[in-house]
Structure formats: structure tokens, C-alpha cells
């Protein structure tokens, strides 16, 4: 079974559209994250939830809104997509704040 899964794997859409990416972990972890990896492979944290509570909210446009319906799921909704949103988005989870993170396979978002 996949530990951290993301859907979809690829997402191609037009500027101005609204899209969502879903993440699920079956590891029983308390903490989940969203990261953005740009074309230069730089990895930047966007959000983190601990037991469904938002604990990290980096300087991200408010077009990005995370939602955690339960401890095993963390979704990312993006409104009014822009060209600069094109990137690979990774979901990750960890059992606690000082343990390693388990990453999903990524969602490659392309905004045309």
C-alpha cells in the first residue's frame, strides 16, 4: 500500500481556473505538509497541519487554501491559477515534529 498518495499525478489547466490536489496518508501520522518544488528544484514549505490544525502558513498567496478534513487527509485548493503556479507540489507527513517526513509522489501542475 502506498504510504502517502496524491491525486492527480499530472494536472494541466488554463490560467484563471480553480483546481484541487488531494493527499492521503495511511501511516497514522499527526502532521502533514504541502511543499512546492519549482523548475530549479528548490523546495519550499507552504503549509503544515498537525491533528487537523493549521500550524504553518508561509507567505503564500491567499489563492492557495489548504483543508484537512481529518488527520489522514490534506487537500490543496488553488483559485485563479496563474502561470507562476506551475510547479510540482508535494505532500508529506511525519509522526511528530522532529521525525523524518514521508513524501508523496508529487503532482505536476502546468498552467497554460
Asked whether position 12 contacts other proteins by CB under 8 A, the answer is no
DSSP track, 42-73: -EEEEEEEETTEEEEE-S--TTEEEEEEETTE
Of 45, 52, 60, 86, the residue at the interface with other proteins (CB under 8 A) is 45
**Which residue matches cell numbers 484563471?**
16
Based on the shown chain and the rule CB under 8 A, indicate whether residue 14 belongs to the binding site for other proteins: no
Site for other proteins in 18-37 (CB under 8 A): 31, 33, 35
**Which position among 12, 55, 61, 63 is part of the footprint of other proteins (CB under 8 A)?**
55
Look at strands 64-70 and 87-94 and give their pairing.
unpaired
Are 104 and 4 in contact by the 8 Å Cβ rule? The answer is yes
- The answer to the question of residue 70 lying near other proteins (CB under 8 A) is no
Compute the least distance from the CB of residue 42 to other proteins, in Å: 6
Amino acid at each position: 500500500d502506498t504510504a502517502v498518495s496524491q491525486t492527480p499525478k499530472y494536472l494541466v489547466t488554463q490560467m484563471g481556473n480553480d483546481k484541487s490536489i488531494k493527499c492521503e496518508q495511511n501511516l497514522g501520522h499527526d502532521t502533514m505538509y504541502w511543499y512546492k518544488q519549482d523548475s530549479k528544484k528548490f523546495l519550499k514549505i507552504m503549509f503544515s497541519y498537525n491533528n487537523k490544525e493549521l500550524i504553518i502558513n508561509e507567505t503564500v498567496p491567499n489563492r492557495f487554501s489548504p483543508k484537512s478534513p481529518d488527520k489522514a487527509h490534506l487537500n490543496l485548493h488553488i483559485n485563479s491559477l496563474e502561470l507562476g503556479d506551475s510547479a510540482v507540489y508535494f505532500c508529506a507527513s511525519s509522526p511528530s515534529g522532529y521525525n523524518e517526513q514521508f513524501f508523496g509522489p508529487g503532482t505536476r501542475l502546468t498552467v497554460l
